[in-house]
């Protein structure tokens, strides 16, 4: 999560703190549409798996907590 928080801070130099795990990153405009694909590439790099944009929703990216649950758990990305 540290690399994600660092990426968010790099994109938002006015942010003087790390986002909290439950902060709504989209409502706070910490991830915008122009940087979204770059953010997806970062998550793919960190998880080691591609992200199919047809299988996710905007809610999957709202908080650091949700991002970790959806994309960074060992079983994330597996289907049952």
Pairwise pLDDT comparison (80 vs 38), residue with the higher score: 38
Structure-token pair, residue 60? 């999957």
pLDDT of residue 73: 86
> What global pTM score does this model have?
0.85
Determine contact, residues 5/39, Cβ cutoff 8 Å: no
Q: Give the whole-angstrom CA distance, residue 64 versus residue 67.
A: 5
CB 66 within 8 A of CB 60: yes
To the nearest whole percent, how much of the chain has pLDDT over 90?
86
Average pLDDT, the chain: 92
The confidence score (pLDDT) of residue 78 equals 52
């Amino acid at each position: 999560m540290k690399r994600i928080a660092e990426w968010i801070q790099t994109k938002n130099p006015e942010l003087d703190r790390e986002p909290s795990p439950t902060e709504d990153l989209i409502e706070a405009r910490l991830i915008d549409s122009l940087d979204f694909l770059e953010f997806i590439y970062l998550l793919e790099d960190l998880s080691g798996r591609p992200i199919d944009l047809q299988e996710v929703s905007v809610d999957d990216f709202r908080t650091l907590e949700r991002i970790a649950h959806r994309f960074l758990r060992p079983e994330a990305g597996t289907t049952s």
